């Protein structure tokens, strides 16, 4: 069986590396593997988690061709989206700090996973003309980001800027993401991103444990609230998936991916 999540231990810190070539697209199986890996980390009593991806790409977001392959089967589509939101929720509810090591592009679902983490370190592209990008571009593919997901964006960039970014389905460069607070720091290249993520966690773990964890819990209460079912409204989200606007944009995206 192919390993979808590579597990690398750095002392008490565990790195979970997405490993589904070529772009770590989030299909049902990968999302479930991530849920299982985070759950196992809790069982193993790790003290911190780093979520990383591949060189040049953290994850390309949801696997749209996989989702479209469900056709009109609403049950399968619900199952796939439940797996994704479950993966986001298990990160949001982790009882230990989690750092997103954004090793490259992080659109849509990748941005959601990152926003559920405590801290975000993103790679700076070696080619300024081709920057790595991050953001919630759901509108561009005919989807509406649920209220809960919009809250994730608001809590890091503010209400007004979140509204502008979300409504335009904008992706921003790593450099711009740092300026607006969407990511917390930049590093040159994937290895350095992971190194900085581990370094941040090591600094946290040197603090008095219970005060740090209890303060963290208070600071993340709004994040937990955002991921509750009433703010995701999954059934409404899936119904919208079948709208003409969404299907037209999604099929066009799948065609572009097929040519790539």
Where in the sequence is the domain holding 143, given as residue range(s)?
5-259
The pLDDT assigned to 257 comes to: 78
pLDDT tens-place string over residues 69-86:
999 999 999 999 999 999
Measured between alpha carbons, how far is 62 from 110 in angstroms, rounded to an integer? 8
Prediction pTM value: 0.96
The list of the chain residues with pLDDT below 70 reads: 1-2, 259-260
Task: Yes or no: say if 119 and 183 are a contact pair by the CB < 8 Å rule.
Answer: no
Q: Tokens for 136?
A: 């919630």
Burial of 251 (0-12, 13-18, 19+ CB in 10 A): middle
The pLDDT assigned to 260 comes to: 54
pLDDT tens-place string over residues 33-71:
999 999 999 999 899 999 999 999 999 999 999 999 999
The pLDDT assigned to 259 comes to: 64
Q: Total structural domains in the chain? A: 1
What three-state secondary structure class fits 138?
helix
CATH for 150: 3.90.226.10
Sheet with 104-107, edge to edge strand ranges = 56-57, 104-107, 133-135, 171-173
């Amino acid at each position: 069986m192919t390993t979808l999540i590579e597990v690398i231990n750095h002392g008490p810190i565990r790195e979970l590396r997405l490993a589904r070539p070529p772009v770590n697209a989030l299909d049902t199986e990968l999302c479930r593997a991530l849920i299982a890996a985070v759950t196992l980390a809790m069982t193993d009593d790790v003290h911190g988690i780093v979520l990383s991806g591949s060189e040049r790409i953290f994850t390309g977001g949801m696997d749209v061709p996989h989702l479209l392959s469900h056709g009109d089967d609403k049950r399968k589509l619900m199952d796939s989206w439940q797996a994704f939101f479950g993966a986001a929720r298990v990160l949001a509810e982790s009882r230990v700090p989690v750092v997103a090591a954004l090793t490259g592009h992080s659109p849509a679902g990748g941005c959601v996973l990152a926003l559920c983490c405590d801290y975000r370190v993103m790679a700076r592209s070696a080619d300024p003309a081709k920057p790595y990008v991050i953001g919630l571009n759901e509108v561009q593919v005919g989807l509406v980001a649920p209220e809960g997901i919009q809250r994730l964006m608001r809590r890091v960039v503010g209400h007004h800027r979140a509204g502008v970014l979300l409504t335009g389905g904008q992706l921003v460069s790593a450099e711009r993401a740092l300026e607006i607070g969407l990511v917390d720091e930049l590093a040159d290249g994937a290895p350095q991103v992971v190194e900085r993520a581990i370094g941040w966690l090591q600094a946290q773990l040197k603090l008095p444990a219970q005060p740090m964890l209890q303060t963290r819990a208070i600071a993340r209460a709004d994040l937990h609230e955002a991921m509750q079912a009433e703010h995701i409204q999954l059934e409404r989200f899936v119904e919208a998936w079948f709208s003409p606007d969404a299907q037209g944009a999604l099929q066009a995206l799948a065609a572009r991916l097929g040519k790539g």
